[in-house]
Amino acid sequence: MTTTRHGAAATTASAAVLPLALAQFIASYAASNMNVAISSIADDLGTSVTGIQTAITLFTLTMAALMIPGSKLTDIWGRKFCFQLGLVIYGAGALLAAFAQSLPVLFVGYSLLEGVGSALLIPPIYILITVLFDDTTTRARYFGVVSGAAGMGAAAGPLIGGLITSYISWRASFLLQVLVVVSIALLARHIVDPPLPAQRPRFDTLGALLSALGLFFLVFGVLQTGAYGWWKATKDYAIGDLVILHQGAIAPVWLYVGIGLVLLAVFFGYARARERNGRTPLVSVRMFRNLTSNLGLLTQNLQWLVMQGSFFVISVYLQQVHDYSAIQTGLVLVPATVGILLASGLAPRMASRHTQRRLIRFGFFTTSLGIVLLLALGGPQPTSAWSFAPGLFLMGLGVGIMLTASVNLVQSAWPESDQGDISGVSRSVSNLGSSLGVAVAGSLVAGAVAGGGQYGGALVIVGAFALVGWVAALLIPRHGAPQGTAEPEVAP
């Protein structure tokens, strides 16, 4: 009888993996499929490439700003409840975006509601697998299933989005997300969420507000560079009829970045004071006192910045300069998809043979080499779409090699009792990298629509960030963290 009950429980737990994996797939898909539909959406809504860039950036920024609060809410409201609530909000946002007739409505549906929904449903995915499976081998296998779904969603997003946009409409891509979310909600009814402890933490509302606003102003400032420049304002910067900065004054990017940094400094001071008074902060400041972990977080941020930034540059360049359709753009990006999936499939074998530090260093090196090939073969006047293939494949391979390695490095630097907090920080940092990647790339290719002149310069800047990541990987202590089997990466 005991064996029968144990087998039934295992079967029930295993059935929960399918909706969790599907949820991770669709959240990752939403973060990558928009790039190939930029021109179609901009034309349909009567807006510009910059407007769609802003929508994509705000989507990943919303996730970055709310991922840590979302992780905390699972301890208060319950994992299954947060997962289901996230699905409802996400589905409502996708439905609204599908019928959007203006850019502000797209902002509300895609950038805000889908971002909030993702921040609520992503943290419970790995937490539920952790609590549902006691056996570490089984748990690691299902972590691999979910992370594989994440990688597949992020990598296949451009191709799937391109097919749907070309043969149906960009709106159908959002309707597809609605159908998938409804299916996940039906499957998720059978997930058994172990009961929470009677003593639940109180939510740090002020801390969540300070951290979210700090990250928002940081990225929002970078978004202003496309219109006002990086150093000196190229025109008057006004809010309504009030001119804040005159032409020739310091660019508004530094005004907003300064506000963001001040808010983040206040947040850390507040969290430190709250912790000293015996109250639980949104995230403990000691999460940022570990050198190995901090360098690992930096490499995570730069990985997503480089990947999303380069994808955005290439997508805009192909669509605006060479008039590629959505499906043509998606097909050009297939080599990167193949590289990411190939490296993700080999990740367990590579982790057993090499240290995480070495994998991260090699990943950044390979990614940088791929960007060099893109510059040499793919622009500014590529002979054919095949000119992009070698560089994109190497770039995808490099990113795929280091994604899981960076997260394993960070997670392995902390004991089991801190895994929840560091996981929230890790996912927030990754999504912040995606936001900055699209924001920085968008500002750099503002001139590409006129003839492609900014394409090479934009890729050079993105490549410089890859080199910074390689240097950060060199600084990781040689024995800072063991080879681990910690939870795999969650794509933004």
Beta bridge partners of 243: 238
| pTM beyond 0.85 | no
DSSP code per residue over 385-448: GGGGHHHHHHHHHHHHHHHHHHHHHHHHTS-GGGHHHHHHHHHHHHHHHHHHHHHHHHHHTTTG
Closest CA to 34 of 330, 304, 328: 330
- Average pLDDT value over all residues in the chain: 79
Evaluate whether 121 touches 86 at the Cβ level (below 8 Å).
yes
Q: What fold does the segment set 12-204+282-475 form as a domain?
A: Growth Hormone; Chain: A; (1.20.1250)
CA atoms within 13 A on the CB side of 9: 12
- Span 321-347, average pLDDT: 79
Confidence bin at 365 (pLDDT 50/70/90): very high
For 406-428, letters b (16+ CB in 10 Å) and e give bbbbbbbbbeeebbbbbbbbbbb
Average pLDDT, stretch 313-329?
77
Residue 177's pLDDT band, with cuts at 50, 70 and 90, is very high
- Tens of pLDDT, residue by residue over 430-483, are 778 877 887 777 776 654 334 444 677 778 888 889 999 999 988 988 764 444
Task: Answer whether 87's CB lies under 8 Å from 23's CB.
Answer: yes
Task: Determine phi and psi for 232, rounding to 5 degrees.
Answer: -115, 140
- Give the model's pLDDT for residue 318: 79
Q: Which residue has the tokens 């929230």?
A: 424
pLDDT computed for residue 380 by the predictor: 55
Asked if pLDDT for residue 316 goes beyond 80, the answer is no
Burial of 289 (0-12, 13-18, 19+ CB in 10 A): exposed
* Rounded Cα distance, 381 and 453, in Å: 10
pLDDT at residue 178 in the model: 94
**Residue 287 pLDDT > 70, yes or no?**
yes
Q: How many residues does the structure list for the chain?
A: 492
Q: Is the backbone peptide bond immediately before 380 cis, with ω within 30 degrees of 0?
A: yes
- DSSP code for 113: I
pLDDT tens per residue, range 215-226 = 888 888 877 776
Interval 41-54: pLDDT, tens:
888 898 887 788 78
pLDDT at 6: 45
Domains in the chain: boundaries: 12-204+282-475, 205-281
Using only C-alpha atoms, the chain has a radius of gyration, in whole angstroms, of 22
Per the model's pLDDT, the better-predicted residue between 4 and 255 turns out to be: 255
Over residues 322-330, mean pLDDT: 77
| Average pLDDT, integer, range 387-406 | 83
Question: Which residues, at least 6 apart from 91, have a Cβ–Cβ distance to it below 8 Å?
Answer: 117, 177, 178, 181, 182, 185
